[in-house]
Amino acid sequence: MTAHAVLESTAAHLRHLVAIEQSAARLPSLVAGLVRDGELVWMGARGTAVRRGDMTLPDVDTQYRIGSITKTLTALLVLQLRDVGTLDLADPLSEHLPGVAYGDRTIRQLLAHAAGIPAEPPGSWWERSPGVSFAELTSRLDDGQAPLSVAQRHHYSNLAFGLLGEVVARKRGVSWFAALDTDLLRPLGMTRTSYCAEPPSADGFSVSAFADALTNEPSHDTQSMAPAGQLWSTTNDLARLAAFLVAPLPDVIRAETLDEMATVQSGTPEEGLTGGYGLGLRLAKSGERTLVGHSGSMPGFLAGLFVDRDRRTAAICLANGTAGMRCQGLPLDLLEMLERHEPTSPAQWQPAAQVSTHVSEILGLWHWGETALLLSFEGDELVLATAAPNNGRTPPYRYRSVAPDRFVGVSGYHTGETLSAVRSPDGTVNHLECATFIYTRRPYDPSAPVPGGAPAP
C-alpha cells in the first residue's frame, strides 16, 4: 500500500513543533521528516542551511552531518558478519584485533556500550581534531584506563565503535566505509550518504551564549573514529534507513537480527525503565511504547532518528547547530503529534488459510493447575493467554510451528523454549509441555504427568 501525505491540518501542527524547536534552540536551520509505511510523507524546514552563499531553505536532499547515527550503520555491518558466521557476538575483541587493549571485551558488550571502556579515545577531543590512524589510536590505549568493570552498566563509548569499525574493515578486507557503501548504502538506495560533505550541504555552526552570533565549526576527517560519527546524510536517505529498520530487506539483514538489535542490552539506574541501549540502537520510551533509533552530534550539527516499528512510522530531525535541539525529544514529539491527529490503523483482518490438523486439534481451553488458558491461532502463531481477565498483567505467550506437534516460543516467558503436544498411545493429544510446564484439558488431569498430582480434596 502506498503511504499518503499527512493532512494539511496535521502538517500545521508539525510545522509548529519545528518552529518552536528552531526558535528556542537558536538553530541556524532545522529540517524534519516523517516516514509512514516506508515512505517520506511529510517534511518541514526552517532557517537557512548556510551562512553565506546559497541561502535557500534546506530540503530533503540537503546534507547534514549525522554524528552517532553512524553507529547504527556500523552495528548493522557487524551483525551482517555475525549472520554469515564470520564472527560471534560472544567473541572477545582479541580474537579479531589481537594485541589491542580491551581485548577481553566481547563484540556484544562493545555494541551495547556495556564493555566498561572509556567514552572517548585518549588525546585531543577526536570530534574537533584531525583524525589519527588506527595504529596511532591503539598505541594510546591502555587496559588500565577502563572506568568501569565489564558489564557493570551502560557506559556510552565512542571508542567502542572505532574498534568495531576496524573489526569490520579487517574481516571484509576493505576500509570501513567501502564495506558500508557496498553492504548497506547501495542496497538501501542511500546515494546521498557520504564520508565527507557533498553539496548541497549545510555548514556547521555554534551560536554565542550571549549574542545571536554564529561561529563556524570545524569539520575533520576523523579517520579511525569514523565508524562512531563521521557520516553525512539527508532527510531522504535517513527515511530509507528508517523504512529499513521497520521492514528489513532479507538479503541485507535478517528480520530476527534486527529484532535482536532492538532488544535492550544495557541501561543505567538514572534512566530506569524509560530508556536503554540495544545493539547499536538507542531504545526510548514514549508513553506505553518503545521506539528505537539514535541521536547524533558533531561540531556544528545535531541529528535524531527514531522509529516506531509496530506503527511503521519514523521521525527524522537534522540541524546545523552545536547544542539546543532535543535530538530524541523532538522526533518523539513529532511522532506523538502524527499519531494524535492521524492514528495508525491496525492491519486489515484476513481469514486464515486452512489450519493444519496438528494445530487445530490443540486449540481451545487448557489448564495449568487451576488456571484456565485459551490457545488460539492468529496469523501463523499460536497464542496462549489467560481465559479470565487479568488487566494485562500477563502478556500472552506466542509460538511458531517448527514441526508437527512442536512449536517454539517467540514472545513471552517461553521465548526460545519448545512447546510439544504429547500424545497418548491412541494418537490423541494427552497434554502440552513446555519447559516442564504441563497444560491439560482439565485441571490436574490424572492421566497427565502433572508434578505433585491433584490436590487433596
Burial class, 266, CB count within 10 angstroms (exposed 0-12 / middle 13-18 / buried 19+): buried
Tens of pLDDT, residue by residue, the chain (457 residues):
346 899 999 999 999 999 999 999 999 999 999 999 999 999 999 998 675 555 678 999 999 999 999 999 999 999 999 999 999 999 999 999 999 999 999 999 999 999 999 999 999 999 999 999 999 999 999 999 999 999 999 999 999 999 999 999 999 999 999 999 999 999 999 999 999 999 999 999 999 999 999 999 989 999 999 999 999 999 999 999 999 999 999 999 999 999 999 999 999 999 988 999 999 999 999 998 999 999 999 999 999 999 999 999 999 999 999 899 999 999 999 999 999 999 999 888 888 778 899 999 999 999 999 999 999 999 889 999 998 776 556 789 999 999 999 999 999 899 999 999 999 999 999 999 999 999 999 999 999 999 887 765 6
- Cα separation of 430 and 424, whole Å? 6
| 43 within domain boundaries | yes
Give the number of domains in the chain.
2
Q: Which of 289, 317, 341 is the last residue of a domain?
A: 341
Indicate whether 259 and 221 sit together in one domain.
yes
Indicate whether 313 and 398 sit together in one domain.
no
- The owner of cell 542496497 is 187
Indicate whether 123 and 248 sit together in one domain.
yes
Angle at 243 between CA 237 and CA 248, to 5 degrees: 115
| 130 within domain boundaries | yes
| 171 within domain boundaries | yes
| 174 within domain boundaries | yes
Report the 10 Å Cβ neighbour count for 45. Answer: 22
Indicate whether 86 and 157 sit together in one domain.
yes
Nearest residue to 200 via CA among 244, 240, 236, 242: 236
Domain span at 377: 357-439
- Cα separation of 60 and 42, whole Å? 10
- The owner of cell 496438528 is 358
Indicate whether 160 and 55 sit together in one domain.
yes
| 452 within domain boundaries | no
Indicate whether 200 and 161 sit together in one domain.
yes
| 347 within domain boundaries | no
Cell of 191: 546515494
Predicted local distance difference test score (pLDDT) of residue 455: 66
Length of the chain: 457
Q: Which of 280, 315, 341 is the last residue of a domain?
A: 341
Indicate whether 241 and 386 sit together in one domain.
no
| 237 within domain boundaries | yes
